[in-house]
Amino acid sequence: MPVAPTVGVVIANHNNSDFVGKAIESVARQSVRNIRAVIVDDASTDRSDETIRACLSQLDDGRFRYLKLESNVGQGGAIRRGLAELDTPFVCFLDSDDLWYDDFIIRHVAAHMNADIPVALTYCDSHIIDGDDRMLAGTAWWFDAIPTETSPRKIDAALIPRLDPKTGELAWPTNGEITFHPHWTPGGATNSTASMMFRRSFVDLVLVPPNEDLRLYVDFYLSTFAALLTGVIAIHEALYAYRMHGRNKHSNATVMGGKYNSSTRPWESVRTPSLKLIRTVLESDAAAFRTAFGEGRHAEAMALIAGEIDEPPPAEETPKPGRSGVLGRLFGKTDPSPGTP
């Protein structure tokens, strides 16, 4: 019988000495043992290096490797450095202030190996915790959220956790539901970097901008690309904890209930530059994308992004030789007629 693929993990850290040890330990506890992990310290100025070395020494686990960068390259650059140490067909990126639950990897691998449709990205829901591991919310409200709600609705009893009165621990019933989203939509949302598992060949194809253009928000960049070109699969269960500790680079707001704003920074100031960057990559590497996904899917992606940034797509050109279509062998080159998925 076939066996599951090896999964690579990159933990990119910058000045998260209070939390990076817990992140590393959560990877070590994964129920799937066939993993390879690289911790990349992005020139931290706190005690991160000391914390990481102490944690790895205590674990004494040959599956882990450590890289300490002398100059800061940002989230995208740190992830790329970690990927250079891995040759696994699937990869995940755990933010160093978050932590995975024990079945994170096994559930993602199972979703990727479904017998319906292969995708570039699977992602899951999350719990929201504070700096002391205490729960703030049982879900990221934007995960597969209903865009508009105007009427009362019941909340499924299966979504309500059990609370142990002696230990205070919360436990939710297992939810095996997954949903395939075949196309990108402007109002759609996945989740943070730590929620995701990617096909490595896809990441290699799209993670090409200079480090200075991807210092943050790699999750939005990669997940938008995946939704545009292959569709994505949502796992309807919180398989990790997203930490809002007061020093987050993005989520610096307070959970007050409802569809709260996780950041005080206007989302459009993040979204629009990211979409423009995606448009640039789709255009400059058009031949590689057409080879991998077909002319129809590439044209559809270009049109969707252009519509969102109010810029007309460029006139079609004769495809030029580009990078080899590694993903074409995974997903199949589609009929070149416009709009074909």
pLDDT at position 122, please?
98
Nearest residue to 111 via CA among 175, 158, 161: 175
Q: What is the pLDDT of residues 261-294, one digit of tens each?
A: 776 677 688 899 999 999 999 999 999 999 999 9
**Pair of tokens at residue 42:** 């992005």
Nearest residue to 38 via CA among 74, 60, 9, 68: 9
Secondary structure class of 134 (helix, strand, coil): coil
pLDDT at position 170, please?
92
Least confident of 13-27, 178-192, 195-209: 178-192
Q: Is residue 141 pLDDT above 90, yes or no?
A: no
Place 319 in a pLDDT band, splitting at 50, 70 and 90: very low
Q: How many Å apart are CA 333 and CA 207, to the nearest integer?
A: 21
pLDDT at position 311, please?
67
Contact 81, 75 (CB under 8 A): no
* Averaged pLDDT score across all residues of the chain: 88
Contact 45, 73 (CB under 8 A): no
Number of Cβ within a 10 Å radius of residue 213: 15
Backbone angles phi, psi at 66, to 5 degrees: -130, 130
Backbone angles phi, psi at 91, to 5 degrees: -140, 150
Nearest residue to 19 via CA among 36, 34, 39, 43: 39
216-234 average pLDDT score: 96
CATH superfamily for domain 7-265 = Spore Coat Polysaccharide Biosynthesis Protein SpsA; Chain A (3.90.550.10)
Least confident of 112-116, 241-245, 308-312: 308-312
Q: Where are the domains of the chain?
A: 7-265, 274-331
